[in-house]
């Protein structure tokens, strides 16, 4: 009986520790940091009203993914879930919600964007995106370059620095990604619906780079279900 009570108390301590950890994540998220993975935390504010932290969508762009024996390696977007990387072919987001999108890009190759507008950050709540650890931009720093200290808020990127974009035309969202960098951006979903996400930087195969990964769900395009 005594042992049973002890075990119960240990479980209680573990639960309390987890809750404390979630609280810390909420604070970091409000400061523009990394809040967690696919989590929504509801807190009660000082005014007694509930407020929610963003729903966090974490993505990773890797290289060295074998597309097939003819084309070879292609870059790909993945979702970062609780058990590791999973396909980005189908993304689900809550409706009418603030989304914190974190994309970590391990690709250092450049690719031409399909139109100049895709160098601009579009559709975020702040009109900007935060860029972290962009070694490529640091190395080409000049009169129009950027000096990064922790992170920098940008409204566009030099076209020569862009390796991929995360673009959702139906949400008017465009997030340019520079080499070897992480971005954090915030946007809001509206009513339930189905959307397409894609990359507007010609990083695929074929003569103009628009084939292969560029047109294959789970690589450089996919579906977003808001609901
Ligand atoms: Cu791409």
Dist. CA 36 → ligand 1 center (Å):
25
CA of 159 to the centre of ligand 1 (A): 13
Cα(68) to centroid of ligand 1, in Å? 17
What homologous superfamily is domain 52-226 in, according to CATH? Cupredoxins -  blue copper proteins (2.60.40.420)
DSSP state of 128: S
85-110 pLDDT, tens digit per residue, is 999 999 999 999 999 999 999 998 88
Q: Order the strands of the 173-178 sheet from edge to edge.
A: 90-93, 221-226, 193-198, 162-168, 173-178
The residues spanned by each domain of the chain are: 2-31, 52-226
Using DSSP, state whether 177 is helix, strand or coil: strand
Distance 225 CA to ligand 1 centre (A): 21
Cα 130 to ligand 1 centroid, rounded to whole Å: 19
Which is higher by pLDDT, 127 or 146? 127
Is 22 in a helix, a strand, or coil?
A: helix
More confident residue, 62 or 38: 62
Ligand 1 centre to CA of 111 (Å) is: 8
The pLDDT tens digits for 134-150 are: 665 555 554 445 555 56
CA of 32 to the centre of ligand 1 (A): 25
Lowest mean pLDDT among 49-58, 77-86, 111-120: 49-58
pTM reported for the whole predicted model: 0.75
Q: How far is the CA of 160 from the centre of ligand 1 (A)?
A: 14
Confidence band (pLDDT; 50, 70, 90) for 58? very high
Average pLDDT, the chain: 80
Burial degree of 64 (CB within 10 A; 0-12, 13-18, 19+): exposed
Q: How many residues does the chain have?
A: 227
Residue 165: per-residue pLDDT: 98
Q: What is the pLDDT of residues 1-44, one digit of tens each?
A: 344 434 444 344 333 333 333 333 333 333 333 334 444 444 44
């Amino acid at each position: 009986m005594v042992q049973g009570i002890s075990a119960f108390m240990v479980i209680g301590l573990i639960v309390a520790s987890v809750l404390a950890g979630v609280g810390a994540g909420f604070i970091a998220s409000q400061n523009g940091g990394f809040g967690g993975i696919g989590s929504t935390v509801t807190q009660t504010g000082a005014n007694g009203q509930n407020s929610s932290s963003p729903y966090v969508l974490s993505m990773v762009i890797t290289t060295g993914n074998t597309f097939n024996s003819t084309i070879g390696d292609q870059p790909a977007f993945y979702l970062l879930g609780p058990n590791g990387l999973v396909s980005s072919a189908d993304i689900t987001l809550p409706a009418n919600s603030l989304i914190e999108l974190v994309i970590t890009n391990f690709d250092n190759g450049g690719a031409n964007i399909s139109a100049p507008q895709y160098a601009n950050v579009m559709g975020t709540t702040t009109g900007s995106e935060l860029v972290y650890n962009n070694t490529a931009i640091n190395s080409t720093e000049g009169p129009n370059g950027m000096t990064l200290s922790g992170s920098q808020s940008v409204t566009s990127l030099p076209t020569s620095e862009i390796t991929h974009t995360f673009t959702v035309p139906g949400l008017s969202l465009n997030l340019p990604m520079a080499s070897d960098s992480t971005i954090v951006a915030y946007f809001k979903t509206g009513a339930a619906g189905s959307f397409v996400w894609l990359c507007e930087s010609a990083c695929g195969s074929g003569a103009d780079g628009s084939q292969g990964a560029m047109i294959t769900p789970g690589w450089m395009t996919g579906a977003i279900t808001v609901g």
